[in-house]
Amino acid sequence: MSSRVPKISSFTLTTHRLLVIIVFVAIFTMAVRVPADTDTWWHLSSGQYIVENLTIPTTDPFSYTKFGQPWIDHGWLAQIFWYGLYSLGGWALVALALATLVTTAFWFVWKQIEANVFIAALSMVLGAIVSSVVWAARPQMVTFLLVAITAYLLDRYKRHNGRLLPWLPLIMILWVNIHGGYAIG
């Protein structure tokens, strides 16, 4: 009687895989920081206003020069998102979410690159360095991710006649309420 031992698949750490891991750990590490700039406070305050008043402001509630003037808050959904994270976990959760968002965006870009792995890795690291100056808790960071996802879906459709294209209208409905950059999509 012979007993067959089931084959257990193993993970082999190749140079390619190691390079991918290093690139994405580096991007995540670059992005996990207190993600504040001068607009972050305003976006957090807007999110707080919306949550506390259960309404999107139609007049400027913050400015002393334009207080009460008509205002269209294009980023209301992202402001609720960032404020929600901040109120649940402070800067630590906001920093973790930002790093995850940035890393995920770069992952969707990575999935479209057909170049040599070393050239692709260098391109990703350089792209991260250049774009890192705008990484903050702002609605535009969700646009950063949604541009990458939209490009990925379109690329999949073009190359593989993918079935993911029906997700684009849902993405656009969300995006139009997150940031004015929806026009890119």
**17: in domain:** no
**1: in domain:** no
Q: Read off the pLDDT of residues 92-151 as tens digits, 9 standing for 90 and up.
A: 999 999 999 999 999 999 999 988 999 999 999 999 999 999 999 999 999 999 999 999
Q: Could you give the number of structural domains in the chain?
A: 1
**39: in domain:** yes
pLDDT band at 162 (very low <50, low <70, confident <90, very high): confident
Long-range contacts of 2-9 (CB under 8 A, 24+ apart): none
Q: Can you tell me the mean pLDDT for 151-176?
A: 88
**69: in domain:** yes
**From CA 26, how far away is CA 44, in angstroms rounded?**
27
**127: in domain:** yes
Q: Read off the pLDDT of residues 16-61 as tens digits, 9 standing for 90 and up.
A: 899 999 999 999 999 998 877 888 998 999 999 999 999 999 998 8
**88: in domain:** yes
**119: in domain:** yes
**79: in domain:** yes
CA–CA distance from 15 to each of 25, 45, 57, 107 (Å)? 15, 46, 52, 18
**From CA 75, how far away is CA 46, in angstroms rounded?**
9
pLDDT for the residue 35: 72
**From CA 88, how far away is CA 94, in angstroms rounded?**
9
Amino acid found at 154: L
Tokens of 81: 């998102």
Please write down the HEC assignment for all residues of 87-147: HHHHHHHHHHHHHHHHHHHHHHHHCCCCCCHHHHHHHHHHHHHHHHHHCCCCHHHHHHHHH
Q: Is the pLDDT of residue 6 over 70?
A: no
Q: Which domain holds residue 142?
A: 34-184
3-state secondary structure of 164: coil
Q: Is residue 6 exposed (0-12), middle (13-18) or buried (19+ Cβ within 10 Å)?
A: exposed
CB-based contact 44:91 (threshold 8 Å): no
